[in-house]
Amino acid sequence: MIEERSTTLKEKCLEKAQTGINGLDDITDGGLPKGRPTLVCGSAGSGKTLLAMEFLIKGAKRYGEPGVFVAFEETEEELTKNFASLGFDLDELIAKNKLLVDYIHIDRSEIEETGEYDLEGLFIRLGLAIDSIGARRVALDTLEILFSGFQNETILRSELRRLFSWLKEKGVTAVVTGEQGEASLTRYGLEEYVADCVILLDNRMKEQIATRRLRIIKYRGSKHGTNEYPFLIEEDGMSVLPITSLGLEHEAPAEKISTGIERLDTMLGGHGYYQGSNILISGTAGTGKTSFASQFCKAACERGEHCLYFAFEESPGQITRNMRSIGIDLQPYIDSGLMQIHASRPMAYGLEMHLTTMNKVLDTFNPDVVVIDPISNLTNVGTEDDVKLMLTRLIDYLKLKNITTVCTSLVEQESNDGVNGQGISSLMDAWINLRFFESDSELNRGFSVIKSRGMEHSNQIREFILTDHGIEIKDVYIGKSGGLLMGSSRAVQEANEMAEAVSQSQDMARKKREMESKLKALDAQIAVLNTEFEMQKEELDKLASHNELKNKALANGRSKISLIRQADAPQ
Q: Which residues bind another protein (CB under 8 A)?
A: 75-77, 102-106, 110-122, 124-125, 127-129, 146, 149-150
Contact criterion met (CB below 8 Å) for 155 and 191: no
Q: How far is the CB of 68 from another protein (least distance, A)?
A: 12
For another protein, the closer of residues 132 and 562 by Cβ is: 132
Query: Which residues lie below 8 Å from residue 82, measured CB to CB, with a gap of 6+?
Result: 74
> Sign (positive/negative) of CA torsion 323, 324, 330, 331?
positive
- Run of H or E residues at 21: none
Q: How far is the CB of 42 from another protein (least distance, A)?
A: 24
For another protein, the closer of residues 122 and 398 by Cβ is: 122
Q: How far is the CB of 152 from another protein (least distance, A)?
A: 9
Between CA 491 and CA 494 the distance in angstroms is 5
For another protein, the closer of residues 120 and 548 by Cβ is: 120
Q: How far is the CB of 117 from another protein (least distance, A)?
A: 4
Q: How far is the CB of 12 from another protein (least distance, A)?
A: 36
Q: Identify each DSSP E strand in 137-208 by its residue range.
A: 137-141, 173-179, 197-206
3-state secondary structure 399-443: HHCCCEEEEEEECCCCCCCCCCCCCCHHHCCEEEEEEEEEECCEE
For another protein, the closer of residues 119 and 407 by Cβ is: 119
Give phi and psi for 412, each to the nearest 5. -80, -40
CB atoms within 10 A of CB 190: 26
For another protein, the closer of residues 127 and 269 by Cβ is: 127
Spatial strand order of the sheet with 173-179 comes to 99-103, 67-71, 137-141, 173-179, 37-42, 197-206, 209-219, 228-234, 237-240
How many Å is the maximal CA-CA distance in the chain? Answer: 199
For another protein, the closer of residues 68 and 485 by Cβ is: 68
Q: How far is the CB of 77 from another protein (least distance, A)?
A: 7
For another protein, the closer of residues 156 and 390 by Cβ is: 156
Amino acid at 239: S
For another protein, the closer of residues 116 and 417 by Cβ is: 116
Query: Which residues lie below 8 Å from residue 210, measured CB to CB, with a gap of 6+?
Result: 203, 204, 350
For another protein, the closer of residues 156 and 293 by Cβ is: 156
Q: How far is the CB of 49 from another protein (least distance, A)?
A: 19
Contact criterion met (CB below 8 Å) for 204 and 47: no
Q: How far is the CB of 98 from another protein (least distance, A)?
A: 19
For another protein, the closer of residues 113 and 541 by Cβ is: 113
Amino acid at 252: A
For another protein, the closer of residues 127 and 189 by Cβ is: 127
Q: How far is the CB of 150 from another protein (least distance, A)?
A: 7
First to last CA, the chain: 135
Kindly report whether the peptide bond that precedes residue 332 is cis, defined as omega within 30 degrees of 0: no
For another protein, the closer of residues 128 and 478 by Cβ is: 128
Q: How far is the CB of 192 from another protein (least distance, A)?
A: 21
> Sign (positive/negative) of CA torsion 264, 267, 268, 271?
positive
Contact criterion met (CB below 8 Å) for 178 and 40: yes
For another protein, the closer of residues 63 and 150 by Cβ is: 150
Between CA 340 and CA 360 the distance in angstroms is 13
Q: How far is the CB of 148 from another protein (least distance, A)?
A: 12
Q: How far is the CB of 141 from another protein (least distance, A)?
A: 15
Between CA 83 and CA 61 the distance in angstroms is 15
Q: How far is the CB of 163 from another protein (least distance, A)?
A: 11
Give phi and psi for 554, each to the nearest 5. -60, -45
Contact criterion met (CB below 8 Å) for 439 and 489: yes
Query: Which residues lie below 8 Å from residue 102, measured CB to CB, with a gap of 6+?
Result: 68, 69, 70, 71, 125, 126, 129
